[in-house]
Amino acid sequence: MSIADAIRDKLIQAFAPSALSVNDDSASHAGHSGATRDDGSRGETHFSVRIVSEKFAGLSRVERQRRIYAVLAEEMAGPVHALSLTALSSAEA
C-alpha cells in the first residue's frame, strides 16, 4: 500500500469526511531536505491534504490539525517529511 493510500484510509476511518484529497507533492521538493526517505527512495515524502468533515465543527484550526497529526503519527514519524493541511467543517466547505 502506498503512503498516500495509508493516509487516505486512516483519515476516512477517523473523520468520515464528506470530501478528501491527498496529493503527493514530493516531485516539487526534489533536492530539498527530506525529499529522500531514510531508505534512500524518493517520493511520498511531501503531501497536501484537504479534508471536509462534520467532526471538525466547533474546533479551532489548531485542534483540527492536532487531531489529524495524531491519526497520522506513524507516517509523520517515518516516511512523511511535510504535510500541508486544509481541514474544514461541512459548513465551511
Q: Is residue 22 part of a domain?
A: yes
- The H or E element spanning position 46 is strand 46-52
Residues contacting residue 25 through CB under 8 Å, at least 6 positions apart: 46, 47, 48, 84
For position 81, which CATH number holds? Answer: 3.30.300.90
Q: In this predicted model, what pLDDT tens digit does every residue of 5-35 receive, in sequence order?
A: 999 999 999 999 999 999 999 877 555 555 5
Q: What is the pTM of this model?
A: 0.85
Q: Is residue 71 part of a domain?
A: yes
CA distance 70 to 63: 11
Number of domains within the chain? 1
CA distance 20 to 1: 18
- Asked if 26 and 42 touch (Cβ cutoff 8 Å), the reply is yes
Q: Is residue 93 part of a domain?
A: no
Please state the rounded mean pLDDT for residues 33-42: 52
